[in-house]
Amino acid sequence: MLKNGESGPEIVALQRRLAELGYWNGTADGEFGHLTTQAVYALQKAAGIGRDGAVGPKTRKALDQGVRPKAKSRSGHRIEIDLKRQLLMIVDNGRVTRTFNTSTGSNENYQQDGNTYLATTPTGKFTVSRQIDGWRHAPLGELYRPKYFNGGIAVHGAYSIPPYPASHGCARLSIAAMDWLWKSGELPVGTSVWVY
Protein backbone atom coordinates (compact mmCIF):
# COMPACT_ATOMS: atom_id res chain seq x y z
CA MET A 1 0.00 0.00 0.00
CA LEU A 2 1.36 3.40 -1.03
CA LYS A 3 -0.29 6.47 0.45
CA ASN A 4 -0.03 10.18 1.16
CA GLY A 5 3.02 11.11 3.23
CA GLU A 6 5.31 8.39 1.88
CA SER A 7 8.42 9.05 -0.20
CA GLY A 8 11.15 7.27 -2.10
CA PRO A 9 11.91 5.48 -5.39
CA GLU A 10 8.59 3.57 -5.36
CA ILE A 11 6.75 6.88 -5.30
CA VAL A 12 8.83 8.21 -8.22
CA ALA A 13 7.90 5.08 -10.20
CA LEU A 14 4.21 5.60 -9.30
CA GLN A 15 4.31 9.26 -10.33
CA ARG A 16 5.98 8.42 -13.65
CA ARG A 17 3.42 5.71 -14.40
CA LEU A 18 0.53 8.04 -13.61
CA ALA A 19 2.02 10.69 -15.92
CA GLU A 20 2.59 8.07 -18.64
CA LEU A 21 -1.12 7.24 -18.51
CA GLY A 22 -2.04 10.95 -18.68
CA TYR A 23 -2.99 11.50 -15.02
CA TRP A 24 -1.57 14.93 -14.22
CA ASN A 25 0.44 14.94 -10.99
CA GLY A 26 3.04 17.66 -11.36
CA THR A 27 6.66 16.49 -11.35
CA ALA A 28 7.96 13.10 -10.24
CA ASP A 29 9.61 14.27 -7.02
CA GLY A 30 9.28 11.07 -4.98
CA GLU A 31 6.91 12.68 -2.46
CA PHE A 32 3.37 11.25 -2.23
CA GLY A 33 1.57 14.52 -1.54
CA HIS A 34 -1.59 16.35 -2.59
CA LEU A 35 -0.96 16.20 -6.36
CA THR A 36 -0.19 12.48 -6.38
CA THR A 37 -3.33 11.87 -4.32
CA GLN A 38 -5.35 13.86 -6.87
CA ALA A 39 -3.92 11.78 -9.74
CA VAL A 40 -4.65 8.52 -7.89
CA TYR A 41 -8.24 9.68 -7.32
CA ALA A 42 -8.55 10.28 -11.07
CA LEU A 43 -7.18 6.82 -11.90
CA GLN A 44 -9.52 5.20 -9.37
CA LYS A 45 -12.49 7.06 -10.88
CA ALA A 46 -11.53 6.00 -14.42
CA ALA A 47 -11.20 2.39 -13.22
CA GLY A 48 -14.51 2.45 -11.35
CA ILE A 49 -12.95 1.40 -8.04
CA GLY A 50 -13.00 2.90 -4.52
CA ARG A 51 -11.71 6.45 -4.27
CA ASP A 52 -9.37 6.50 -1.28
CA GLY A 53 -6.32 8.13 -2.91
CA ALA A 54 -4.04 5.25 -1.86
CA VAL A 55 -2.44 2.59 -4.05
CA GLY A 56 -3.61 -0.82 -2.90
CA PRO A 57 -4.12 -4.03 -4.95
CA LYS A 58 -7.05 -2.76 -7.08
CA THR A 59 -5.35 0.54 -7.88
CA ARG A 60 -2.08 -1.28 -8.64
CA LYS A 61 -3.99 -3.51 -11.07
CA ALA A 62 -5.49 -0.44 -12.79
CA LEU A 63 -1.98 1.01 -13.14
CA ASP A 64 -0.62 -2.26 -14.53
CA GLN A 65 -3.52 -2.55 -16.99
CA GLY A 66 -3.02 1.03 -18.15
CA VAL A 67 -6.59 2.17 -17.41
CA ARG A 68 -7.42 5.47 -19.12
CA PRO A 69 -10.75 7.23 -19.58
CA LYS A 70 -12.29 7.45 -23.06
CA ALA A 71 -13.37 10.69 -24.70
CA LYS A 72 -16.82 11.32 -26.18
CA SER A 73 -15.61 13.77 -28.82
CA ARG A 74 -13.77 12.61 -31.94
CA SER A 75 -12.23 15.76 -33.39
CA GLY A 76 -10.75 19.06 -32.27
CA HIS A 77 -9.28 20.29 -28.99
CA ARG A 78 -11.61 20.52 -26.01
CA ILE A 79 -12.16 19.93 -22.33
CA GLU A 80 -14.56 17.17 -21.35
CA ILE A 81 -16.08 17.04 -17.86
CA ASP A 82 -17.55 13.66 -16.95
CA LEU A 83 -19.98 14.33 -14.08
CA LYS A 84 -20.64 10.68 -13.27
CA ARG A 85 -16.96 9.88 -12.80
CA GLN A 86 -15.97 13.40 -11.67
CA LEU A 87 -13.13 13.66 -14.19
CA LEU A 88 -11.89 16.61 -16.22
CA MET A 89 -10.07 15.61 -19.39
CA ILE A 90 -8.09 17.42 -22.06
CA VAL A 91 -9.01 15.83 -25.39
CA ASP A 92 -7.31 16.19 -28.77
CA ASN A 93 -8.97 14.59 -31.79
CA GLY A 94 -10.73 12.00 -29.64
CA ARG A 95 -7.67 11.11 -27.54
CA VAL A 96 -7.50 11.97 -23.84
CA THR A 97 -4.10 13.58 -23.26
CA ARG A 98 -4.50 14.66 -19.61
CA THR A 99 -6.90 13.62 -16.88
CA PHE A 100 -7.61 15.43 -13.61
CA ASN A 101 -9.65 14.71 -10.51
CA THR A 102 -12.41 17.30 -10.34
CA SER A 103 -15.25 18.09 -7.98
CA THR A 104 -18.41 19.54 -9.55
CA GLY A 105 -21.88 20.54 -8.31
CA SER A 106 -23.00 18.68 -5.17
CA ASN A 107 -26.69 18.57 -6.22
CA GLU A 108 -27.56 19.85 -2.76
CA ASN A 109 -29.55 22.98 -1.92
CA TYR A 110 -27.75 26.09 -0.73
CA GLN A 111 -28.89 29.54 0.39
CA GLN A 112 -27.80 32.85 -1.08
CA ASP A 113 -29.40 36.24 -0.42
CA GLY A 114 -32.48 34.60 1.08
CA ASN A 115 -33.07 32.31 -1.91
CA THR A 116 -32.57 28.57 -2.26
CA TYR A 117 -30.60 27.19 -5.20
CA LEU A 118 -29.49 23.74 -6.33
CA ALA A 119 -25.74 23.24 -6.62
CA THR A 120 -25.59 21.70 -10.07
CA THR A 121 -23.22 21.65 -13.01
CA PRO A 122 -25.39 21.84 -16.15
CA THR A 123 -24.66 19.45 -19.00
CA GLY A 124 -24.13 20.66 -22.55
CA LYS A 125 -21.58 22.06 -24.98
CA PHE A 126 -20.05 25.38 -23.95
CA THR A 127 -17.10 27.65 -24.70
CA VAL A 128 -14.62 29.35 -22.36
CA SER A 129 -15.81 32.96 -22.62
CA ARG A 130 -13.71 34.81 -20.05
CA GLN A 131 -11.00 34.30 -17.45
CA ILE A 132 -9.44 35.99 -14.45
CA ASP A 133 -5.71 35.64 -13.80
CA GLY A 134 -5.79 35.64 -10.00
CA TRP A 135 -8.16 35.03 -7.12
CA ARG A 136 -11.84 35.88 -7.65
CA HIS A 137 -13.61 36.70 -4.41
CA ALA A 138 -17.10 35.53 -5.44
CA PRO A 139 -20.26 35.51 -3.29
CA LEU A 140 -20.08 31.71 -2.96
CA GLY A 141 -16.35 31.47 -2.25
CA GLU A 142 -12.85 31.87 -3.58
CA LEU A 143 -12.05 30.89 -7.19
CA TYR A 144 -8.40 30.64 -8.26
CA ARG A 145 -7.65 31.71 -11.86
CA PRO A 146 -11.18 30.84 -13.09
CA LYS A 147 -11.97 30.13 -16.71
CA TYR A 148 -15.72 30.67 -17.16
CA PHE A 149 -17.61 28.52 -19.65
CA ASN A 150 -21.28 28.83 -18.61
CA GLY A 151 -22.26 32.15 -17.03
CA GLY A 152 -20.75 32.12 -13.53
CA ILE A 153 -19.66 28.46 -13.80
CA ALA A 154 -15.95 27.96 -14.31
CA VAL A 155 -13.04 25.57 -14.18
CA HIS A 156 -11.01 26.99 -11.29
CA GLY A 157 -8.42 26.18 -8.69
CA ALA A 158 -9.40 25.44 -5.10
CA TYR A 159 -7.77 24.15 -1.93
CA SER A 160 -10.39 21.41 -1.48
CA ILE A 161 -10.94 18.96 -4.34
CA PRO A 162 -12.54 15.87 -2.81
CA PRO A 163 -13.17 12.77 -4.95
CA TYR A 164 -16.92 13.44 -4.98
CA PRO A 165 -19.24 16.31 -6.07
CA ALA A 166 -18.93 19.17 -3.54
CA SER A 167 -19.02 22.50 -5.38
CA HIS A 168 -21.80 25.00 -6.05
CA GLY A 169 -21.55 24.16 -9.78
CA CYS A 170 -18.01 24.91 -10.87
CA ALA A 171 -15.40 22.27 -11.74
CA ARG A 172 -12.66 22.45 -9.10
CA LEU A 173 -9.03 21.52 -9.75
CA SER A 174 -5.95 21.79 -7.55
CA ILE A 175 -4.16 25.15 -7.43
CA ALA A 176 -1.10 23.60 -9.12
CA ALA A 177 -3.23 22.02 -11.87
CA MET A 178 -4.85 25.39 -12.57
CA ASP A 179 -1.42 27.03 -12.78
CA TRP A 180 -0.35 24.33 -15.24
CA LEU A 181 -3.48 24.86 -17.37
CA TRP A 182 -2.73 28.58 -17.63
CA LYS A 183 0.98 28.03 -18.39
CA SER A 184 0.42 25.21 -20.89
CA GLY A 185 -2.13 27.13 -22.94
CA GLU A 186 -4.43 24.09 -23.00
CA LEU A 187 -7.52 26.05 -21.92
CA PRO A 188 -7.56 29.49 -23.59
CA VAL A 189 -10.65 31.62 -24.10
CA GLY A 190 -12.58 30.05 -26.97
CA THR A 191 -11.93 26.44 -25.92
CA SER A 192 -14.87 24.07 -26.28
CA VAL A 193 -16.07 22.50 -23.02
CA TRP A 194 -18.34 19.45 -23.08
CA VAL A 195 -20.11 18.58 -19.83
CA TYR A 196 -21.98 15.27 -19.61
Tell me which DSSP letter residue 61 carries.
Answer: H
124 shares a domain with 187: yes
The CATH number covering residue 177 comes to 2.40.440.10
- Structural domain contains residue 70: no
- Structural domain contains residue 1: no
Q: Which domain holds residue 59?
A: 9-65
- Structural domain contains residue 71: no
The pLDDT of residue 102: 98
pLDDT in tens, 74-114: 999 999 999 999 999 999 999 999 999 999 999 999 999 99
Secondary structure class of 82 (helix, strand, coil):
strand
- Structural domain contains residue 72: no
The pLDDT of residue 132: 98
The pLDDT of residue 47: 98
The pLDDT of residue 127: 98
The pLDDT of residue 51: 97
| Alpha-carbon span 56 to 62, nearest angstrom | 10
pLDDT in tens, 115-159: 999 999 999 999 999 999 999 999 889 999 999 999 999 999 999
Look at residues 96, 15, 87, 98 and name the one whose alpha carbon lies nearest to residue 44.
Answer: 87
| Alpha-carbon span 52 to 54, nearest angstrom | 6
Phi, psi of 177, deg, nearest 5: -65, -40
> Which of 65, 87, 109 is the C-terminal boundary of a domain?
65
End-to-end CA distance of the chain: 33
Amino acid at 57: P
53 shares a domain with 131: no
